[in-house]
Amino acid sequence: MKKSTKKIISGVSKLISKPNPVNIYYHDITLHSGESYMRINKEKFYSQMKFLYENNYETLLFSDIKKGNNPTKKSILISFDDGFESNYEYGMSILKKFGIKANIFLTLDYIGKEGYLTWDMVKEMHDSGLIEFGAHTKTHLDSRLINSNNFKEEIRSVNENIEKHCGYQVEDFCFPYGIYNRKVLKYFNDFGIYKRVYTSDMCNPKKMSFLKPVGRIGIRDEDDLEDFSNKVKGNYVSIYYLKRLRRLFNYNGI
Ligand SMILES: [Zn+2]
């Protein structure tokens, strides 16, 4: 990120209220060089968790939010999408080392497939007290396609399976690809199955009278520690608006 951009972000950030908790997300963790939002290099992930630990950030589980604990100013909700095996293989020991809590959105059909978590891993992670699980549909379908015919299969089946293995009711859902529309929000709202739904947007500019999607910001493999620090400070709302402005004026300086 350019120096001038960073200055603008920190200036604008002072004027915009920040999300609390701040929501950041990852997907896969890799030993090789990473890939934007999809794969974070293990060493980089280590440095980022170390940063949270050394700077006294409080990390939350879904159930911490459910309990209505008032998040402190430095509260972070970390989530991983899709349920990659690397979350267990590489992520767990790093999270354990720094006592950091995280949450994983599971896609039911991926569980047990090569490269993804098994139910045994899910259970072990849950039993550690550091990880909780949310739903991410059965087949990772675009949520706009959810209707009364596939609701049971795409939504209820995921919840039931997590409940069976972990022993709690799932109340958190993440839209695959971050995509949703008013129709699906209303649908979820009417069924009352989830308490919180998450997107991949940095913020939620749409005002809804029902279930309000929670914005999250992705951590990219290219992010340096300063970018990471900016994101966990909640400055991503400013980053979001600056990106929109850039698109509006077709300006590449940001
Ligand atoms: Zn996904």
> What was the pLDDT predicted at 15?
60
> Which pLDDT tens digit goes with each residue over 188-199?
888 888 999 999
In a domain, 180, yes or no: yes
In a domain, 14, yes or no: no
In a domain, 8, yes or no: no
Q: How far apart are CA 13 and CA 6, in angstroms?
A: 10
pLDDT bucket at 208, cuts 50 / 70 / 90: low
Mean local confidence (pLDDT), 6-21? 68
**38-52, 64-78, 86-100, 132-146: segment of lowest average pLDDT:** 64-78
> Which pLDDT tens digit goes with each residue over 138-193?
999 999 999 888 988 899 899 999 999 999 999 999 999 998 888 888 888 888 88
Percent of the chain beyond pLDDT 70?
81
Is the per-residue pLDDT at 251 higher than 50? yes
**Any idea of the CA torsion for 131, 85, 39, 110, to the nearest 10 degrees?**
-100
Span from the CA of 123 to the centroid of ligand 1 (angstroms): 20
Span from the CA of 136 to the centroid of ligand 1 (angstroms): 7
Span from the CA of 83 to the centroid of ligand 1 (angstroms): 9
Top pLDDT among 105 and 210 is at 105
In a domain, 85, yes or no: yes
> What was the pLDDT predicted at 64?
92
**91-95, 149-153, 216-220: segment of lowest average pLDDT:** 149-153
Span from the CA of 26 to the centroid of ligand 1 (angstroms): 10
In a domain, 250, yes or no: no
Query: Which CATH number characterizes residue 182's domain?
Result: 3.20.20.370
Span from the CA of 53 to the centroid of ligand 1 (angstroms): 27
> What was the pLDDT predicted at 254?
40
Is the per-residue pLDDT at 253 higher than 50? no
- Give 129: exposed, middle or buried? Use CB within 10 Å, 0-12, 13-18, 19+: exposed
> What was the pLDDT predicted at 190?
84
**pTM of the shown model:** 0.88
Span from the CA of 124 to the centroid of ligand 1 (angstroms): 22
In a domain, 53, yes or no: yes
Q: How far apart are CA 137 and CA 134, in angstroms?
A: 10
Range of the domain at 96: 19-234
Span from the CA of 202 to the centroid of ligand 1 (angstroms): 16
State the CB neighbour count (10 A cutoff) for residue 186: 14
Domain count of the fold of the chain = 1
Span from the CA of 7 to the centroid of ligand 1 (angstroms): 33
In a domain, 242, yes or no: no
Q: How far apart are CA 3 and CA 132, in angstroms?
A: 38
Residue 114 · residue 28 · CB < 8 Å: no
Residue 100 · residue 59 · CB < 8 Å: yes
> What was the pLDDT predicted at 188?
86
Span from the CA of 82 to the centroid of ligand 1 (angstroms): 5
Is the per-residue pLDDT at 12 higher than 80? no
> What was the pLDDT predicted at 89?
98
> Which pLDDT tens digit goes with each residue over 228-247?
998 999 876 666 666 667 66
Span from the CA of 11 to the centroid of ligand 1 (angstroms): 33
Angle (nearest 5°) at CA 140 between 213 and 62: 45
Counting every residue, how long is the chain? 254
Span from the CA of 178 to the centroid of ligand 1 (angstroms): 8
Residue 134 · residue 195 · CB < 8 Å: no
Which parts of the chain fold into alpha helices (H)? 3-13, 42-54, 62-66, 85-86, 92-98, 119-127, 151, 157-166, 182-191, 225-232, 236-249
In a domain, 67, yes or no: yes
